[in-house]
Amino acid sequence: MCMEKSDWEKCRDFHGHACPGLAIGYRAATMALAALASVRSADEELVAIVENDACGVDAVQVLAGCSLGKGNLIYRDYGKSVYTIGCRNSGKSVRIAVKNNLWPKDPEMVALREKINNGTANFAEREAFHRHQHDRIHYILEMPDEEFCELRHVNVELPAKASIFPSHTCAVCGEAVMEPRARVKDGQIVCIPCAEQYSRGW
Question: Is residue 161 predicted with pLDDT exceeding 70?
Answer: yes
Q: Determine the Cα–Cα distance for residues 158 and 170; give it in Å rounded to an integer.
A: 32
DSSP annotation of 63 reads H
Residue 24, in any domain of the structure? yes
Q: What is the pLDDT of residue 21?
A: 95
Residue 14, in any domain of the structure? yes
Q: Among residues 26, 79, 32, 30, which one has the least CA distance to residue 56?
A: 26
Q: What is the pTM of this model?
A: 0.85
Residue 20, in any domain of the structure? yes
Which range marks the domain in which residue 197 is found?
Answer: 165-202
Same domain, yes or no: 59 and 149:
yes
Residue 120, in any domain of the structure? no
Same domain, yes or no: 51 and 147:
yes
Residue 84, in any domain of the structure? yes
Number of domains in the chain: 2
Which CATH number belongs to the domain containing residue 76 in this structure?
Answer: 3.30.1330.130
Residue 74, in any domain of the structure? yes
Same domain, yes or no: 61 and 149:
yes
Q: Determine the Cα–Cα distance for residues 184 and 174; give it in Å rounded to an integer.
A: 14
Question: Is residue 174 predicted with pLDDT exceeding 70?
Answer: yes
**Residue-by-residue DSSP string for 68-108:** TTTT-EEE------EEEEEETTT--EEEEEEPS-SS---HH
Same domain, yes or no: 149 and 177:
no
**Coil vs helix vs strand at 35:** helix
With pLDDT > 70 as the criterion, what percentage of the chain qualifies?
Answer: 96
Which CATH number belongs to the domain containing residue 187 in this structure?
Answer: 3.30.60
With pLDDT > 90 as the criterion, what percentage of the chain qualifies?
Answer: 75
Q: Determine the Cα–Cα distance for residues 130 and 138; give it in Å rounded to an integer.
A: 12
Residue 61, in any domain of the structure? yes
Residue 69, in any domain of the structure? yes
**Helix 20-36 and helix 7-15: axis angle, to 10°?**
130
47-83 per-position pLDDT tens digit = 999 999 999 999 999 999 999 999 999 999 999 999 9
